[in-house]
Amino acid sequence: MGKRKAVFLDRDGTINVEVQYLNAVADFQFIPGVPRALQRLKEAGFLLVVVTNQSGIGRGYYDEAALEAVHEHMHAELAQAGAAIDACYFCPHHPEHALGDYRQECACRKPLPGMLQQAALDLDIDLAASFMVGDKLADVEAGINAGCTPLMVLTGYGSAHLPRCPAGVQVCPDLPAAVEAILALAGL
């Protein structure tokens, strides 16, 4: 079992404003307060790991280079705020709507926990001491399936998915509020 604690973060609708199949740097916009909130998690000793479903790649809407460009932009902006992301994992697959090799029943598409489990191996993470924050039911379920503590935010699709959120899951207005909740839960 790993030794480090992490906060796993969904991207679209959690870190940045939800845009359908975001694939251009010009369309990337942080949800207010997010860079500062992520800086607080770093200061508290958490690894920051983005785990994002990107079936738009598999569907042929954009390619992995476009995704990398968006992530480089996100990294650069966050680095300026002292909130460097430690790793990004993405799932380009879809079981029905993707093309070629991207069409598969993979182990990484949330709500499956594959990306979180891979990160735990790569970065020596203690999943039971870690958290998963996202705006969709699939994010909450991925966190539960990985053995993390899930939190749901109401930005992005959060309000729409809230009625299906399992009982007992902490719900927060946005990622900055979720960070406050995590720091309280962790006794920090």
**Among Zn ion, Mg ion, none, what binds residue 10 when CB lies within 5 to 8 Å by partner kind?**
Mg ion
| Choices 1-9, 99-107, 131-139, 164-172 (CB under 5 A): range interacting with Zn ion | 99-107
Q: Which two tokens stand for residue 114?
A: 């594959």
**Residue 94 interacts with Zn ion (CB under 5 A): yes or no:** no
Kindly state the smallest distance separating residue 91's Cβ from Zn ion, in Å: 3
**Among Mg ion, Zn ion, none, what binds residue 150 when CB lies within 5 to 8 Å by partner kind?**
none
**Residue 92 interacts with Mg ion (CB under 5 A): yes or no:** no
Kindly state the smallest distance separating residue 108's Cβ from Zn ion, in Å: 3
Closest CA to 17 of 180, 124, 153, 118: 153
| Burial (CB count <10 Å: 0-12, 13-18, 19+), residue 36 | middle
Cα(46)–Cα(126) distance, rounded to whole angstroms? 11
**Among Zn ion, Mg ion, none, what binds residue 141 when CB lies within 5 to 8 Å by partner kind?**
none
Angle between helices 175-185 and 34-43 (to 10 degrees): 20
| Choices 2-10, 107-115, 122-130, 162-170 (CB under 5 A): range interacting with Zn ion | 107-115
Q: Tell me the catalytic residues.
A: 10, 12
Q: Where are the alpha helices (DSSP H) in the chain?
A: 34-43, 55-58, 64-80, 114-123, 137-146, 158-161, 175-185
| Choices 12-20, 30-38, 64-72, 75-83 (CB under 5 A): range interacting with Mg ion | 12-20
Q: Are 141 and 132 in contact (CB under 8 A)?
A: no
Task: Count the Cβ atoms, other than its own, within 10 Å of residue 163.
Answer: 7
Residue 125 phi, psi dihedral angles, 5° rounding: -95, 140
Residue closer to Mg ion, measured from CB, 80 or 159: 159
**Residue 135 interacts with Mg ion (CB under 5 A): yes or no:** yes
**Residue 91 interacts with Zn ion (CB under 5 A): yes or no:** yes
**Residue 11 interacts with Zn ion (CB under 5 A): yes or no:** no
**Residue 93 interacts with Zn ion (CB under 5 A): yes or no:** yes
Q: Which residues bind to Mg ion, rule: CB under 5 A? A: 10, 12-13, 135, 156
